[in-house]
Structure 1
Amino acid sequence: MAQPDDRFDDEDYPAYTMGAAAELIGATPDFLRRLDQAKLFTPLRSTGGHRRYSRYQLRLAARAREMVDQGTPLDAACRIIVLEDQLQEALRLNEQAQSHTTDH
């Protein structure tokens, strides 16, 4: 079981309530609900059924808000963010594989 100190560095730990998350990214709770509906991410639910957000999800939400504020439709912004995230992961895996190959 993770110790409380371990959670401070965990990007995926759902530490933020909807109200806190909305305030941190400068958006409304409705905007966060719309990101969930658009399938950008699915927040964890507390035992009481309340949405809880991780720092990783908040970064995605902040990027979506920025793009929507610049005039990008929400669905398009979500698709772009997912593709950007997939590209970053592919680049990370490629770098890891190349590093592993040169080590042997």
Structure 2
Amino acid sequence: MSQNQTPGQVIRSARKSKKLSQERFGKLLGLERSAVRDLEKGKKTSLTFQQFSTLYREFSLTPNEILGIYPPSDTIRVEDVCAAIGRAAPNISKPILNEIPAKKIKR
């Protein structure tokens, strides 16, 4: 995973590393093949909380990797990740984001 990759390229690399077709990958995420194609090309940019969870659980992709957030240090601020998720997945309700404690998480 390179910091020079777009979020779509990161997702495509993860899919290909597991040797999954776009159709099979889409089934894991609850998406049509065409939506996976659009996601990989950067035409589709929104993901649900469940889709973020699946990408983390099945492909070890963190939200910051998916969203292209690369902090200058080895510390990721939860507030920054929550804000980025909120922008990328606007259907996540505010109460869910507010339940995440405001503290620093070390990688």
TM-score by length of 2: 0.31
Q: Considering fraction of residues, name the structure with more helix.
A: 1
Choose 1 or 2 for highest CA Rg: 1
